[in-house]
Structure 1
Amino acid sequence: MDERTRLRLDVAYDGTGFSGWAAQPTRRTVAGVLVQTLDLVLGAGTATGLTVAGRTDAGVHATGQVCHLDLPTGVWREREGSLLRRLARLLPDDVRVRAMTEVPADFDARFSATFRRYEYRVTDAPWGAEPLRRHEVLAWPKPLDLAALNAAAAGLVGEHDFAAYCRRKENATTLREVTRLDWRRDPDGILVATVQADAFCQAMVRSLVGAMLVAGDGRRPVGWPAGLLTRRERSSEVTVASAHGLTLVAVGYPEDPAEYARRAERTRRLRVPLEG
């Protein structure tokens, strides 16, 4: 078998025109576009094993997505100085590969990750979202109180069963550790929620945001979002916030590359038996 080199790809995309990350035969997806373009540049099937840190849903954006793939070492050595620019010329404008970095063979974009960090943007301006930002900012119809949003967020930090906020999958765990959840109001008036955890289940971030927003506008008490953590099933009272306000901004990995394999093994042990 030919020697292969593993590459880390740092990827950004506007999720508006994509049906999410994961390849689907009849839909335009980020993974589908990347594979199609790599096949065009390198030859069909040359790049293998495309694996992503977090499979974003339809309409969700990314500025800090990470994935890995494997190339024949000879192909990589021949193309490493020009491949990034070739991809820039051929990829559509709504997806960019920002960096391609050689990494150890035991680096796993999904399982070696120590955290995923998202940001969700909301405006409560009475006129709604600015036209140039309408694809990344949710317009909220009521005034939002920053202190109330942060009070609601505080009760959701830590390790909990987030079943009330997740779309349950068979044999999947809804236990997650949220290490950061807070809101800020930027100088332009946009409210930004930062949410970080070891991992998220499907629709979890947008469900958390949906619950906090109704606490932030006064329709629910600030303790209501945390109170739902006692539920063991998805709560029908929680509205999932629109996908377009959400952006994956960072994925963390061990600083020492020697820890990639150990981290991946530990994550698989925690996740794979439950999530399949």
Structure 2
Amino acid sequence: MHERTRVRLDVAYDGTGFSGWAAQPDRRTVAGVLTEHLDLVLGPGTATGLTVAGRTDAGVHATGQVCHLELPTEVWQERAGSLLRRLARLLPTDVRVRTMTEVPADFDARFSATWRRYEYRVTDAPYGAQPLRRHEILAWPRPLDLTALNAAAAGLVGEHDFAAYCRRKENATTLREVTRLDWRREADGVLVATVQADAFCQAMVRSLVGAMLVAGDGRRPVEWPAGLLTRRERSSEVTVAPAHGLTLVEVGYPTDPTEYARRAELTRRLRVPAEA
């Protein structure tokens, strides 16, 4: 058996032209494009086991996505110095592999992760989003109050059953721990929600944003989003915010590489993280 090396890829992409991360027949996906171009550079099937930290939905962007794959050690040793530049020349401009790093064999981009951090961008400017930023900012038709948004966010921090905000999956828990959720208004007036958790259910981030926005514009009380946490099934009252405002910005891992395997085992035992 040929020796193989595990390699971590840090990836960024504009999700506008992709049907999400996961490979799908007859659809343009991030995983599909990466696999296609790795095959072009290295030869078909040379890179195997492509595994991602979080399978983003169609239209969702990433500046800090993480994935891993395996290469024959001989190939990695020969190509490590030139592989990043060769991919840069061939990949379409809406996806970039930012770094490629050799990691221990027990590093798992998905299960070794300790947290994921997303940002969601919204403008309440009366004219809408700036044209050059329309693919990453949601235009909201009503004025938004930053204090109300943060009051709504505060009630969602902590470990809760987020069933009201998740698309339920068979045999998957909706218990999650949100360690950070807050809003800021940047100098250009754009509102940015930052949300960090150990993992997310499918559509959870955009559902949380959808609930907070109607509290932020005054149509719901600021206590309403947290009040939904008593529900044990998805709430039909929550509108999922559009995908294009959402960006995966960072994935956290243990600082000690010897902890990768232990973290992966713990994550598998607790739950199977789904799409965010």
| Amino acid across the alignment from 2:156 | L
Output the CA distance in 2 between the equivalents of 1:103 and 1:173. Answer: 30
Output the CA distance in 2 between the equivalents of 1:183 and 1:50. Answer: 34
1:172: how far off? 1.1
Retained in 1: the 8 A contact 2:177–2:197? yes
Alignment of 1:66-81 (within 5 A): 66-81=66-81
Alignment of 1:246-261 (within 5 A): 246-261=246-261
1:112 aligns with 2:126: no
Retained in 2: the 8 A contact 1:53–1:66? yes
Retained in 2: the 8 A contact 1:19–1:29? yes
Q: What RMSD over aligned residues (CA atoms) do the two structures have, in Å?
A: 1.2
SS where residue 238 of structure 1 aligns?
Answer: coil
Q: Deviations over 1:36-95 (max 9, x none)?
A: 000000000000000000000000000000000000000000000100000000000000
Retained in 2: the 8 A contact 1:60–1:244? yes
* Alignment match, 1:195: 195
1:239 aligns with 2:239: yes
1:270 aligns with 2:274: no
* Alignment match, 2:160: 160
Output the CA distance in 1 between the equivalents of 2:270 and 2:45. Answer: 32
Inter-CA distance 106–24: structure 2 relative to 1 (3 Å threshold): same
SS where residue 260 of structure 1 aligns?
Answer: helix
1:171: how far off? 1.3
Retained in 2: the 8 A contact 1:4–1:71? yes
1:224 aligns with 2:204: no
Inter-CA distance 272–131: structure 2 relative to 1 (3 Å threshold): closer
* Alignment match, 1:44: 44
Retained in 2: the 8 A contact 1:38–1:87? yes
Structure 1 stretches of at least 4 aligned residues deviating more than 2 Å after TM superposition = 272-275
Q: After the TM superposition, which of the residue ranges 168-177 and 8-17 deviates more from structure 2? A: 168-177
Q: Deviations over 1:91-118 (max 9, x none)?
A: 0000000000000000000000000000
Alignment of 1:57-96 (within 5 A): 57-96=57-96
* Alignment match, 2:98: 98
SS where residue 153 of structure 2 aligns?
Answer: helix
Output the CA distance in 2 between the equivalents of 1:100 and 1:150. Answer: 37
SS where residue 92 of structure 2 aligns?
Answer: coil
* Alignment match, 1:138: 138
SS where residue 207 of structure 1 aligns?
Answer: helix
1:267: how far off? 0.4
Retained in 2: the 8 A contact 1:138–1:242? yes
1:25: how far off? 1.1
Q: Deviations over 1:169-220 (max 9, x none)?
A: 1111100000000000000100000000000000000000000000000000
Aligned residue pairs, count? 275
SS where residue 116 of structure 1 aligns?
Answer: strand
Retained in 1: the 8 A contact 2:9–2:100? yes
1:26: how far off? 1.0
Retained in 1: the 8 A contact 2:200–2:274? no
Structure 2: any 5+ residue segments left out of the alignment?
none
Q: Deviations over 1:194-251 (max 9, x none)?
A: 0000000000000000000000000000000000000001000000000000000000
| Amino acid across the alignment from 1:111 | F
Output the CA distance in 2 between the equivalents of 1:14 and 1:29. Answer: 11
Q: Percent identity?
A: 89
Output the CA distance in 2 between the equivalents of 1:172 and 1:236. Answer: 20
TM-score, with length taken from structure 2: 0.98
TM-score, with length taken from structure 1: 0.98
